[in-house]
Amino acid sequence: MRVHLAACALLLAACPLDPGPAPHAMNSFKVKVVGVYERVGAARNALPVVSPCAAMYGSQAAVPEAEKGTPQCRYVIPRGEAEFDIEALAMGLDGEPFHDFNGSVSFRVVPGDLPPNMRARWSAATLGEVKATVRAVHPYGEARVWVEDAPPRAIYDGGLANPDELPAQSDRTYAAGASDTIYFADQTLQSLQMPAELDNRSSPFAGNFVVVGKNPTSGETLKQNCPDDPARNGRESLMVITGLDPAGFFVTDISACRVREVLSDSIGNTVRTGEPQEPCWIATADGGREESLDGGAGRCNISERACTRRADCFGYSPGTFASMFVYNYNFPDNLDEGDLLFTLSGGIQEFTSTTQLVFPAWTTAERVRRLPEDQWNKWLQFARPYDLNGRTCGQDNAAVPFLTDALCGHNRRNMKMESLESGLVRIRRARFPRKFQNCDFNANGSVPFFCETKPPNADWQWSSCVFAPDVESEEDRIERTCNHDCVVGQGENAGTICSEQATFRGFGQYVVEMGLPGPSALGLDDALPLRMQNATARLVADAGVDDAGMVPANPSVRVSGYGAGAEVAITCSKTARYHVGDANVVAGDGDPTIEPGQIVRAVFGATDSAVAFQAVTEQASCTVGLNARTRINLQTRDAVPELEPDCNEADPDADRAQQCRNLRGSEFNIIGHLRQVQPARPRWVVIPRAPDDLCCYPGPGLECPRPIKPCQ
C-alpha cells in the first residue's frame, strides 16, 4: 500500500493544479447615500423622520442631516417611493479607486423592492464613478443600498418586460458594495396594511417576509410613530388576539395610530364622501371645553393642531389599518381570544385581496386565561367593533343612491373598508335573505360574477366583467344575469333580499341587507344626512288661528319626492300619525300612529310619492330615510352552525318552519371580523366568532331564532 501512495504523490507533483484566472483588478464598490427623499406625484420632498426625533429637535425641518437615518432618528416607512441619491466608486484589489471601469451597474435595496421599471434598476459608470438616484418601495428597519457589476434583475410579465431597456451585454465581475445602514422605522401591523394609493387590493409588502414587534430579550419594545395622533405617539405596540379561526387567528394592534384620511392620491383617485373632521375645542371659564364655532383659538381634538373652527382640522379613517389575519393552516393551539403578543413574523400574502400572514411564528406576551376570569377581557375590551354605515361603504351623501350602493365597499378605491380589514366591525339592524336562488345552471359549483358598466348613450348598469376582445358565452350570461338580479334585487327579485344558493353552499357566505338611514339612537344609519328627510309635526297651539279667527285642526306636514317601490324607514321623536300617499297626502285622525322608538318600514305603491305626519299630544320630529338596499356578505357556518339561513317557512317540520319565520322576520346586530373577497359580490364579508356576536330585534309576534338572544 505504501508503494501505491508514493506513486500517486509523484504523479500529483508532475501535474500541478490549474490556478484558474487571475482575480479582476476591480473587486468592490464604495457606496455613499447623500440624500433620502420621498416621491409624492411630481413632488420630491425630504423623507420625514419618526415623530419622537422630530419632537426632540422641535420640528422636521430642524433635524440635523447627520442625525437622519440613525438608530436614534429613523426615517419613516414611506407610503410611496423612496429615492436615494447615491455616489458609488469602483475599488480595486489594492484598496484604491479603480477608474478603468466604464460599464453598467445594477441596484438593490435590502430590505425593499425596486420599482417595476427596468430602466430605473441600473445606471452607467464613468471612470469608475456612479452618481444616480435609486428608487425603492417598502424599505424598513435596517436598510442598505447595494451597487453591483451585474445585470439588473429582469421583470417578467408573461415574458421579459421591455428588453430594449436592459444594459448592453458585457463581461461581469459581480463586484458589489453596500452603503452604511440607513435606519427606517420598524414594521407595525399598520405599516404592512396601508397602501400608497387609493387601491385596497394589496398590501405594499405582499411577497415579503416581515417581523413585527420586539422580543423581550432584546431589551426594546416596538413604539408607535404617530405624527397626526400625539396621544398615541410613542406608545408601546399592543397586538391582541381578537378571534380564533379553524385555520388561524385575527390580531389587532389596539394602540395603533389613528390615521388621517387621504382624500386623493397621485393618480387622480378621490374619496366619494370624506370622514367628518375632528372638532376644534376651546377652553371654557369653568375648566371644561366646547367646540369653537365662531373663530375662537382652540386645538383640534386628535391632531392637537391650532385651530379656530372644525374646517382647520383633519378627518380620520374609520380604522387604523392595524389588523391582520394570521393563516396558521390549522387551529392555533396555546392561543386564546384576548391574548397579547410580543412578536409576529411570517410572509405577507394576499388571499382574495385580504392581507394575511403565512408560515407564521409568534411569541406570546400574556396568556389571559391564566388570569382570573374577570380579567380575560383585559386587552380585548380595547378592540371595539366599528359600526359599518353608508359612508364607510363608500356611498355619496346624496339623496339618490348610485348603482353600486347596493354592494357595500364595492369600489376598489374604498380605503375606509380597507382601514378596518381583519378588524372587528358591527352591522346594525341587518335583515337576512328571504330567498335563496340557485344560478348555477350547469352545476359546476360556481357562477360568473358581475361588474358595473356604462354603455354608450346609456346609464350605469350591471353587466359582464368580460371585456373586448373576449366575448361572454351565452351560458355565462344567463348565470351572471340570474346572479346580479338576485344579489342586488333586480327583475323578479326587486324588493326582495336574495342570496345566490351555489355561493352559499360552496363558501358558506350569503347576503344580508344593512340597516336603513335614520336616527343612530334607534340603531339606524345617520352617516349620510341627505339620505333622510326631516319633518316637524306641530300642535294646534303652535299653529295659531286662521284668517277667519278659527283654530284649525292639528296641521299635517309632509316629505315627498319618492318613487314607486321605494322603501323607507319612518321614525318620530313623539307619538304622531302618518300616512303614505301621493304628492297631496295629509295625515289625520283616522291614520295609524307611530310611537317614539318605533321604526316603521314602508314601501311606496305605484301612485305613492310622499309621507305626511300629524302631531297627537306633543310636537314630533320625524324622519324618513330612503333605503339604498345595501348588501354585505355574512358567514356564520363556523360561529353559529345551528343557524340555517337557507330555510323554508313552509317546512313540514313545524319547529323548523317557525325558526325560519323568526329568522326572516327579525333584524340583527352582528359583530365579526371583516374580510375582503375581490371576486365575491358583495366583496366584503363579516365573520362572527360565536353566537353571542349576534343579537336580535324580533319581528311582531316573533321570537329570536335559536340560539340568538334579544338585543339589550
Residue 386 pairs with which residues in a beta bridge?
425
Between CA 696 and CA 704 the distance in angstroms is 6
C-alpha cell at 272: 366619494
Of 581, 431, 416, 574, nearest in space to 498 by CA: 431
| C-beta of residue 557 within 8 angstroms of C-beta of residue 542 | no
* Residue whose cell numbers read 327583475: 491
CA distance 547 to 555: 15
Q: Which helix (H) or strand (E) holds 542?
A: helix 540-543
599: left (phi over 0), alpha (psi -120 to 50) or beta: beta
The pLDDT score that the predictor gives to residue 469 is 83
pLDDT of 176:
95
Rounding to the nearest 10 degrees, give the CA dihedral for residues 283, 284, 290, 293: -90
Of 151, 395, 162, 360, nearest to 271 (Cα)? Answer: 395
- Sign of the Cα pseudo-torsion (460, 462, 463, 468, in order): positive
Q: Can you give the pLDDT at residue 267?
A: 76
Distances, alpha carbon 391 to alpha carbons 410, 424, 473, in Å: 12, 17, 36
If we measure between CA atoms, which residue out of 150, 142, 141, 91 comes closest to residue 123? 150
Predicted structure pTM score: 0.88
Output the CA–CA distances (angstroms, integers) from residue 690 to 51, 95, 646, 665, 668, in the order listed: 40, 67, 19, 22, 14
Is the torsion defined by CA of 697, 699, 703, 704 positive or negative?
A: negative
Q: Which residues of 68-93 are buried (b: 16+ CB within 10 A; e: fewer)?
A: bbbeebbbbbbbbbbbbebebbbbbe
Residue 158: what pLDDT? 63
SS3 568: strand
First to last CA, the chain: 95
Gap between the Cα atoms of 155 and 113, Å rounded: 12
Give SS3 for 571. strand
Distance CA 572, CA 518 (A): 10
Tell which residue, 198, 204, 264, has the closest CA to residue 414: 198
Q: Dmax of the chain from CA atoms?
A: 142
- Secondary structure in 3-state letters for 474-518: HHHHHHHHHHHHHHCCCHHHCCCCEEEHHHHHHHCEEEEECCCEC
Q: Tell me which residues of the chain have a pLDDT lower than 50.
A: 1
DSSP states along 272-292? SSPPPBPPEEEE-TTS-EEE-
Tell me the CA distances in angstroms from 445 to 364, 441, 484, 503, 506, one per residue in order: 41, 9, 17, 8, 7
